[in-house]
């Protein structure tokens, strides 16, 4: 299956290129819309000051300032960083209606957003750790 997402930083990569560059788990999650097992990701209980970036293209996605412990087994954020860091699409693949969250730059699947987050936004961006890289502030 060809990757039709156009990267803002260059031409779109093929599935074969992504498969060569990513670990099997990162490929399954980021390019094939999989999900890592809950409570297994490196960033679930990670609370250092800094920014979370797309594992595939490096785009800044979330700040540690919006991270919170939702107790769901995946890193949770109340809002993305400034600007159009992410895009959303309706996802009905699991027999329920959810909102999928993807990197706006490269189209990587990140996770889903739910309307049960903390005050101000009321949103919980439930993100796979394997889709993220962290950079200290």
Question: Is 126 an active-site residue?
Answer: yes
- 9 by Cβ neighbours in 10 Å (0-12 / 13-18 / 19+) ranks as exposed
User: Which strand (E) or helix (H) includes residue 109?
Assistant: strand 109-114
Q: How far apart are CA 43 and CA 50, in angstroms?
A: 12
Catalytic residue among 30, 56, 106, 126: 126
* Residues 6+ positions from 127 with CB-CB distance below 8 Å: 43, 52, 61, 62, 74, 75, 76, 77, 101, 110, 111
Active-site residues, by number, are 126
């Amino acid at each position: 299956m060809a990757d039709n997402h156009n990267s803002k930083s260059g031409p779109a990569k093929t599935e074969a290129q992504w498969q060569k560059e990513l670990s099997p788990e990162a490929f399954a999650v980021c390019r094939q819309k999989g999900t890592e097992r809950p409570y297994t990701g490196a960033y679930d209980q990670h609370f250092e000051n800094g920014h979370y970036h797309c594992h595939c293209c490096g785009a800044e996605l979330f700040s540690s300032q919006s991270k919170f412990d939702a107790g769901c087994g995946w890193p949770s954020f109340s809002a993305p960083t400034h600007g159009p860091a992410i895009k959303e699409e309706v996802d009905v693949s699991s027999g329920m209606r959810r909102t999928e969250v993807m990197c706006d730059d490269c189209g990587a699947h990140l996770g889903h957003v739910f309307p049960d987050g903390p005050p101000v936004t009321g949103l919980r961006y439930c993100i796979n750790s394997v889709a993220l890289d962290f950079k200290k502030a």
